Chains A and B, each alone.
Chain A
Amino acid sequence: MINYSLEGYIKTGYGGYNKLCSFYHFCLGHPNGTHFSLDFTRVEWIDGNLCALLLAIVYHLNKTYGHTITTDMDVIKERFSVLLRNGFLKSEDYPHDDRQSTVPVEYFSPEDKEGFNNYLQYSLLTHRGMPSNLTDTLKEQIKEDILEVFCNTNHHANTQEPFFVGGQFYPKIGILKFTMVDLGDGFLPRIQKATQGKITDCLSSILWALEGNSSKNFLDNCPGGLGITSMKKYFAENNGVLQIISGDGFWSSDLSGSVFEGGRTLKNPFLGTTINLFFGQ
């Protein structure tokens, strides 16, 4: 068994994503069928919503490489019970989230629009951490935009692998963080094709989509949706954050005005696309 220690603060952003993906790349460097122990003792903090990404990593490592990953449940129960309360890990001692701070970590087949629609309706939009001032129209818009992300996995991502989701509410700071992960092709291949090779890197493909472009106009002879630009607008106007990670491209709305306004490049990318949403109260 090979031990791997996660360390420090694993927050939703460039640093946290790199830390979890470093574990992924560490595992890739070992023969198929290796057993890993994921050690949380040196972790100071982990955002519960990132369990959606961690679950996607564990799933992919197991399915593709036959790796198995275990962890010390005593450490989890003592210091990171959130990983039990949100359903990422199972234990009979933690049957439900008594603090009502988590949005369950789940995964859906890309075909399961009914299941995902119900999850949005009953687990996310009705969560106590969602902004209390949302009008019915805004709620509808958010649901529509998130559903479009899920539908894009079905249509664009060229994968039958599950779509992973999970969220965490932080009452003290009044923020609900929600993460969605797919294991598909990411933005670039389709956008590169749609732009006839003008877009050649992952970060540029994210920026191209954020500008309101859609590959559907070019490849499907069909009007494209406005999901990402609509989300960008919502989070800009409502004290929130939108993060998009696809391939080695990382873009976050809260980097606006910084040297990383145009995004960053990841050293250790994972597969597909990850979208993080921060809903501010």
Chain B
Amino acid sequence: MVLILLLFVVYYVKDLYLKLTPVFMKVVVKNIINSTIAAFHNDGILVYSHLEKAFLNKEQVELSFEGIERCATQFLNASIGKLYLQYDPHAVDNILQYNYANLSNLKAKISEVRNNAINSKEYDSLVNNATA
């Protein structure tokens, strides 16, 4: 009887745990672009489509730069910047995490890209309001 009760509790606690824990997705840049150089706009768009899918599904994402030798701003703008431009920045912040791997200045670069995208959105909004 105790065993049945225990199994019952374990089953429901597990179910509850799975419901409360967001799904975690790992997006590995190198595997998507098939290169160790993340530079092109089109590379970024490929990664963006993975990030957007996760964002719309409310999945937690780790964007991993493992195996990447060089990461250019053009790539970051088309992947991460575009996500911040298209969606609520706070919502993006809440789902997106990074594995910077060995790229020492990547954290600063991503921060710059994020702020640039948010500022660009605010600027567009001001222009639209002014010209409406």
Q: Which A residues contact B (CB, under 8 angstroms)? A: 113-114, 117, 137, 140, 144, 147-148, 150-152, 154-155, 216-217, 220-227
If A148-B73, A151-B40 touch, whether A220 touches B78 (CB-CB below 8 Å) is yes
User: Hey, which chain A residues are within 8 Å of B69, CB to CB?
Assistant: 117
Q: Do residues B85 and A225 form an inter-chain contact, with CB atoms below 8 A?
A: no
**Among A117, A140, A144, A154, contact of B41 (Cβ-Cβ < 8 Å):** A154
Question: B70 an interface residue at 8 Å Cβ cutoff?
Answer: yes
**Among A147, A216, A223, contact of B39 (Cβ-Cβ < 8 Å):** A147
If A147-B39, A223-B113 touch, whether A155 touches B74 (CB-CB below 8 Å) is yes
Number of A-B pairs whose CB atoms are under 8 Å? Answer: 70
Q: Do residues B82 and A225 form an inter-chain contact, with CB atoms below 8 A?
A: no
Report how far A144 CA is from B74 CA in the complex, Å.
Answer: 9
Q: Do residues A148 and B105 form an inter-chain contact, with CB atoms below 8 A?
A: no
Task: Other than A221-B82, A223-B120, give 20 A-B pairs with Cβ distance below 8 A.
Answer: A113-B35, A113-B37, A114-B35, A140-B105, A148-B73, A151-B72, A152-B74, A154-B41, A155-B40, A217-B120, A220-B41, A220-B78, A222-B41, A222-B77, A222-B78, A222-B82, A223-B84, A223-B113, A225-B73, A226-B73
The distance from the CB of A214 to the nearest CB of chain B, in whole angstroms, is: 9
B interface, by DSSP: helix, strand, loop or mixed? helix
User: Hey, which chain A residues are within 8 Å of B84, CB to CB?
Assistant: 223
- B1-60 contacts to A (CB < 8 Å): 35-37, 39-42, 44
Q: Do residues A117 and B40 form an inter-chain contact, with CB atoms below 8 A?
A: no
Question: B117 an interface residue at 8 Å Cβ cutoff?
Answer: yes
Q: Do residues B42 and A155 form an inter-chain contact, with CB atoms below 8 A?
A: yes
Q: Do residues A117 and B82 form an inter-chain contact, with CB atoms below 8 A?
A: no
Q: Do residues B77 and A147 form an inter-chain contact, with CB atoms below 8 A?
A: no
Residue of A nearest to B80 (CB): A223
Residue of B nearest to A111 (CB): B40
User: Hey, which chain B residues are within 8 Å of A151, CB to CB?
Assistant: 39-41, 72, 74-75
Q: Do residues B77 and A224 form an inter-chain contact, with CB atoms below 8 A?
A: yes
Q: Do residues A223 and B40 form an inter-chain contact, with CB atoms below 8 A?
A: no
